[in-house]
Amino acid sequence: MSKTVVVAFANNKGGSGKTTTCSNVACAMAMQGKKVLMIDGDMQLNLTISYFDEDTALAFAQNGKNIYTAIKEEKDLSDFVVSTEYKHLDLVPSTSLMSAIEFDLFTKWQREFILKKCLEPVKARGYYDYILIDAPPTLGGWVMNIMCASDFLVIPVEASPWGLFGLANMFEFVGQVKTLAPTLEVLGIAVTKADERKKYFKQTLETLQNTDGARLFKNYIRVDSAVEWSQDNSKPVVAYKKTSRSAVEYTNLAKEIMKYAHR
Ligand SMILES: Nc1ncnc2c1ncn2[C@@H]1O[C@H](COP(=O)(O)OP(=O)(O)OP(=O)(O)O)[C@@H](O)[C@H]1O
Ligand SMILES: [Mg+2]
Any idea which fold 5-260 has? Rossmann fold (3.40.50)
pLDDT band at 2 (very low <50, low <70, confident <90, very high): low
The CB of 50 under 6 Å from ligand 1? The reply is no
Per the CB < 8 A criterion, the answer to whether 79 and 70 are in contact is yes
Please check the confidence at residue 134 and state whether its pLDDT lies above 90: yes
| CB contact burial 122-138 (16+ within 10 A = b; e otherwise) | bbeeeebbbbbbbbbbe
- Residue nearest atom 31 of ligand 1, based on CA coordinates: 228
Phi/psi-derived region of residue 33, left when phi > 0, alpha when psi is between -120 and 50, beta in every other case: left
Q: Give the amino acid at 105.
A: L
pLDDT at 120 (0 to 100)? 98
Please check the confidence at residue 238 and state whether its pLDDT lies above 80: yes
Question: Of all residues in the chain, what percent carry a pLDDT higher than 70?
Answer: 99
pLDDT (tens digit per residue) in 183-237: 999 999 999 999 999 888 888 898 898 887 789 999 999 999 999 999 999 999 9
Please check the confidence at residue 1 and state whether its pLDDT lies above 60: no
Q: What is the mean pLDDT of residues 53-73?
A: 97
Q: Give the amino acid at 258.
A: M
The CB of 160 under 6 Å from ligand 1? The reply is no
Please check the confidence at residue 67 and state whether its pLDDT lies above 70: yes
**Maximum Cα–Cα distance for the chain, whole Å?**
51
Question: Of all residues in the chain, what percent carry a pLDDT higher than 90?
Answer: 88
pLDDT (tens digit per residue) in 86-104: 999 999 999 999 999 999 9
Average predicted confidence (pLDDT) for the chain:
95
What number does the ligand 1 atom closest to the CA of 246 have?
Answer: 1
The whole-angstrom separation of Cα 169 and Cα 172 is 5
* Ligand 2 centroid from CA 18, angstroms: 5
The CB of 46 under 6 Å from ligand 1? The reply is yes
Per the CB < 8 A criterion, the answer to whether 194 and 221 are in contact is yes
pLDDT at 94 (0 to 100)? 98
pLDDT (tens digit per residue) in 3-48: 999 999 999 999 999 999 999 999 999 999 999 999 999 999 999 9
Please check the confidence at residue 121 and state whether its pLDDT lies above 60: yes
pLDDT (tens digit per residue) in 100-119: 999 999 999 999 999 999 99
* Ligand 2 centroid from CA 125, angstroms: 28
pLDDT at 21 (0 to 100)? 98
